[in-house]
Amino acid sequence: MILQEVLNADWLWEPVRVVIDVTIVSYLVYRTLLLIKGTRAIRMLAGIVILILLFFVSKDEYFDLPTLNWVLDKFIASFIILIIVVFQDDIRRALSQVGKKPIVGGGQNVDTDTLQEEVVRAVTALSAQRLGAIIAIERSADLSSYTEEGVPIDGRVSRELLFSIFLTSHQNPLHDGAVMIQKGRIAYAGCFLPLTVNPKVDRELGTRHRAAIGLSEETDAVVLVVSEESGAISLALHGELMRDFDAQSLRRVLNDSFGGMSRSTLWRRFGRAKGGSRTK
């Protein structure tokens, strides 16, 4: 009787309910941030947060900004619709990944130095033979949503494997698509990437270069392109394309981009230096 009264007591279960409630909400926020990490959605989210802060500041009696408050009030009123419209692609990708990954995943140690060296060797070999190629290297943003139509490979990153994927002989069905390197391994080949819609992009650029820019606009991936016509090596990052790299300058830019160097610093160092030119 006493045990039943204890189990039915609100004072006992209320803290448990609070802990469960906070844990679930925290986990959902954590998973959401993981999904949008490294994508353009995180920049849009930061802008929305700033507008919300301005809304509360404009309401403050000390500042008293009625016009700004009225405009932002209309914005906040349609906030849910705005979120759906702005983040529709990210929401679709997030929902498509539900259930595909474990709740708690362990990180994998990736030898980035070896990976970068093998990629540089492969790209320079492809360039020497004028074999067109596009290779996307995952950083913070998950690239799994761009691999739905690709062919699973799950192979060690090596010059030989990357070179063979882009060979055009024997009706190779993979050479036209992109290779995705995820968690330090060649995960997929023959992937289709979104093309950039930026009207300022050079009209002379082909589909591979536009696809590289398009993926770099939506994620923080490093995308390498080898031109089939000229053999020139280009690198797309943050929606910008740096062109005409040689092996040495490509090693440096890969090392710096994975080391967290900012976009502006990368451009100053490699965009105007020998072996690199920039296209927006």
Domain-wise residue ranges, the chain: 2-97, 112-279
Each residue's pLDDT tens digit, 131-153: 999 999 998 888 888 888 899 99
Q: What is the pLDDT of residue 144?
A: 85
Q: Distance (Å, rounded) from C-alpha 197 to C-alpha 214? A: 7
Task: Examine the pLDDT at 104 and tell me if it is beyond 50.
Answer: no
Q: Which of 195-204, 210-219, 259-268 shows the lowest per-residue confidence on average (mean pLDDT)?
A: 259-268
Structure tokens at 153: 């490979």
Look up the CATH architecture of domain 112-279: 3-Layer(aba) Sandwich (3.40)
Inter-helix orientation angle 40-59/66-77, to 10°: 130
Each residue's pLDDT tens digit, 63-93: 778 888 888 887 777 777 777 776 666 666 6
Whether 210 contacts 251, CB under 8 Å: no
Paired residues of 240 in beta bridges: 237
Q: What does 204-252 look like in DSSP terms, one character per residue?
A: T--HHHHHHHHHHHHS--EEEEE-TTT--EEEEETTEEEE---HHHHHH
Q: What is the pLDDT of residue 218?
A: 85
Region 195-200: mean pLDDT is 86
pLDDT band, very low/low/confident/very high, at 20 (cuts 50, 70, 90): confident
Region 242-263: mean pLDDT is 85
Each residue's pLDDT tens digit, 27-76: 777 767 666 665 666 667 777 778 878 888 887 767 778 888 888 887 77
Structure tokens at 165: 């994927």
Task: Examine the pLDDT at 121 and tell me if it is beyond 80.
Answer: yes
Measured between its terminal Cα atoms, the distance across the chain in Å is 75
Neighbours of 69 (CB within 10 A): 18
